[in-house]
Amino acid sequence: MTSPIARQLHAGRWCAFGGAALVFFFLNAATFTSLGVVLFTMGADLHWSYTDTGYGFTALGLACGLSSPLAAVSMTMLGGRGSLGLGATMLAIGFGIAAITQSLVVFFVAMMFLGLGYTLAGNVPGVYLLAGWFRRRSAPIIGYYLMLGALGAAFGPPVVEAIVRRYGWRIHWQVMAAVAAAIAATCLLIVRDAKNPPPPQGIAAAPAETGSGWSYRRAILTPQFMLVCAAMIMTMCCVTTNSSVLVAHLVKLGASPTAAAFVLSAGALTATLVKGGSGRLCELVSPPVLLGAGLLFQAVGCVLLAMADRPLLQYGSALTFGTGWGLSFVAAHIVPLNYFGAVTGAKILSVVALLTTLAAAGPLAAGMIADHTGSFAPVYDVYAVLLLLLAVPVMIMQAPRHKAALSLAAE
């Protein structure tokens, strides 16, 4: 028989996993991927241009990126449990403000709260919480957590579209606010932090502790780091833009809003499934090759999306782009860990996440181009060219050589 302490430990682990996965699922379902669905109706009702709606999406992206350092501060002061609860509360406030929106300024404020909530309740505190509970089995557990959370991006668009179509966009935001408040209460009730958790990522662990010989500063000056950054920025720029304008783009090409939401969902579901298998694939194939292949798949998906005036093309483009998204996302996380060691590589990933704030400009640029040309197709064509230009150097990228290793080789 298991002891009461063992049973309590087991329950604590799975309550932490369930709470973290629930929050991450909701985040992916209700924010970035689904925002373009509700903005399509909001923009028409409030007489916003495509540029205006792009500003809203950019505000959310900027809020997420610029607030990313606060995740480590929140985990230090409140722990993983407190960070999840506070983040979900910020989401509830943001959704509530969005429900009473009458102007872009009010909507920007709502997006700022949503971005802060995403940072405080997203994958950084989630991974930190689970790493404390599942010390020996953290890798597969974190993989399951990320995959379950990413499923929200697949389920969100059709659900949001159905709510908006039947009840209107204000009711949608009210429903999201109520769900966020319930999730905040659930996390505070059932989630607990493990005793003696590891230090929050990005605030402890000196360079000397990496065991790889790479210091943080030296690593971020390598061409390999810059290529990984560029790959992630382009990937997130495409993903963010897609989430923002895909519904409007496909409606312009003759699809219904419901059909467009399902296409968006299909791409997210494909990316989720690919992410689930890409970790194992990185053990069999060179991660830089997978990263470059992911960029190529995204480029082909963008070309197809630009002319997707039939369901076959629409779903084909979604599956192709989703495959590239999943491959690139996972491989871009593995490459720095392989090149620079676990601790320095993890620190670099936090810098990469901060720099991907630049991707927030994608929806705004797409809206401006559509207002000027009457079509979103040029946006996808430009993305395809940039992805192709980046894919080749990424695929042939070699591991960086540390100065200490070069000195030993010279001797």
Q: What is the pLDDT along the chain (411 residues), one digit of tens a residue?
A: 455 555 555 566 778 888 888 998 999 888 877 887 888 788 888 888 877 877 777 788 788 877 877 877 777 788 778 888 999 999 999 999 999 998 889 999 999 999 899 888 887 777 777 777 676 655 567 667 877 887 888 788 888 989 998 999 999 999 999 999 999 999 888 877 766 555 554 444 433 344 456 777 888 888 888 998 899 889 988 988 887 788 888 988 888 888 888 898 888 889 888 877 776 787 788 889 999 999 999 999 999 999 988 999 999 999 999 999 888 888 887 788 778 776 676 667 667 767 777 777 787 888 888 888 888 889 899 999 999 999 999 999 888 876 544 443 344
- Our measurement of the distance from residue 322's CA atom to the centroid of its chain's CA atoms, rounded to an integer in Å, reads 13
- pTM here is 0.71
CATH code, residues 1-193:
1.20.1250.20
Half-sphere exposure of 352 (CA within 13 A, CB side): 29
For 271-304, b/e burial (b = at least 16 CB within 10 A) is bbbbbbebbeebeeebbbbbbbbbbbbbbbbbbb
Residue (of 134, 115, 151) closest to 22 by Cα position: 151
CA angle (167, 267, 349) in 5-degree steps: 110
CATH topology of domain 207-405: Growth Hormone; Chain: A; (1.20.1250)
- Where are the CATH 1.20.1250.20 domain residues in the chain? 1-193, 207-405
Query: How much is the pLDDT for 53?
Result: 79
User: Taking each helix axis from N to C terminus, what angle separates 32-46 and 223-252, rounded to the nearest 10 degrees?
Assistant: 40
